[in-house]
Amino acid sequence: MTDHVQEQEMEIEALEAILMDEFKEIHSGESGLSTSNRCFQITLSPQDDDTDQSTSTPVQLALVFSHTEKYPDESPLLNVKSIRGIQTNDLKVLKEKLEQEASENLGMAMIYTLVTSAKEWLSERYGQDADANNAEEEEATKDEVIVPHGEPVTVDTFLAWRERFEAELALERAKLMPESAFMATKEKKLTGRQWFESGRATAKGAAPVSEESDVEDEEDIDFDDDDFEDDEEDMLEHYLAEKSDSSSHSSKRTA
């Protein structure tokens, strides 16, 4: 003979160990069942087992049950109540579903099976609605994305930018050149009189100049900051001219 009471006690202990805070005993007057036997309530929501149950959920269900005298050889008394967000019609559909499954599982402890079925039903019924709402929110967010405005980059604008960048880079390098380089550049631009008075003409057979001329010559060749700024501009122009010539030679070779 089957010991129904022992099987029922063992099932309650197992449910307490598995469900923990979701499982509790309630007064029969709170259960909505027509019985004076012990009644229990299991709180369910459409969440995965790994999800933090302390977070707020859109829907929550209370599955209430009580063992009958011959359970599990007969179905338990069942009731479902909405804790949050579940419509009355849905509660009726779920209760009928659970009662049908209970009749199919007679002869074995079935409460945890019914819990799993109810949780899956919640996920299918209300989880899809939550996914649809999330999809709508994502679409609304996409519509609100601000498209940045600016000048589009083309081949011509890029080449123009690169030419300016290389010119500025050459100018920066020129500023870092030693003073001797500027002196050499300045000497190349001496006027005929300065060249004659600098003594180079003497080296080639020209008449020597006096010391006073040398002093005047030194004074004439003194450079100031404006001269160096001019040199930088000249060097930049020279760099761009060489770059242009190089590009032309390359084009001719290709042709």
pLDDT digits (tens, 9 = 90+) for 83-134: 999 999 999 999 999 999 999 999 999 999 999 999 999 988 887 555 555 5
Please report which confidence band the pLDDT of residue 199 belongs to, taking 50, 70 and 90 as the band edges. low
Q: Among 14-28, 139-153, 233-247, name the one with the lowest average pLDDT.
A: 139-153
Please report which confidence band the pLDDT of residue 166 belongs to, taking 50, 70 and 90 as the band edges. confident
Does this model's pTM top 0.75? My answer is no
> What is the model's pLDDT at position 14?
95
C-beta pairs of 22-29 under 8 Å, 24+ apart in sequence: 22/53, 26/64, 28/66
Average pLDDT, the chain: 75
Please report which confidence band the pLDDT of residue 70 belongs to, taking 50, 70 and 90 as the band edges. very high
Instruction: Give the integer Cα–Cα distance in Å for 90 and 81.
Output: 10
Q: Domains, the chain, ranges and CATH?
A: 4-48+58-126 (3.10.110.10)
Phi, psi of 78 (to 5 degrees): -125, 150
What would the mean pLDDT of 172-193 be, rounded to a whole number?
Answer: 62
> What is the model's pLDDT at position 215?
47
What would the mean pLDDT of 198-204 be, rounded to a whole number?
Answer: 56
Instruction: Give the integer Cα–Cα distance in Å for 98 and 111.
Output: 10
What would the mean pLDDT of 69-89 be, rounded to a whole number?
Answer: 93
Q: pLDDT tens for residues 41-63?
A: 999 988 654 445 445 567 899 99
Q: Are 96 and 116 in contact (CB under 8 A)?
A: no
> What is the model's pLDDT at position 152?
72
Largest CA distance in the chain: 143
What would the mean pLDDT of 187-208 be, rounded to a whole number?
Answer: 58
In degrees, rounded to 5, the angle at the alpha carbon of residue 38 between the alpha carbons of residues 33 and 44 is 70
> What is the model's pLDDT at position 1?
47
Higher pLDDT, 229 or 151: 151
Q: pLDDT tens for residues 29-40?
A: 999 999 999 999
What would the mean pLDDT of 145-172 be, rounded to a whole number?
Answer: 74
- The one-letter amino acid at 99: E
Does pLDDT of 82 surpass 90?
yes
> Can you name the residues that pair with 80 across neighbouring β-strands?
63
> What is the model's pLDDT at position 172?
76
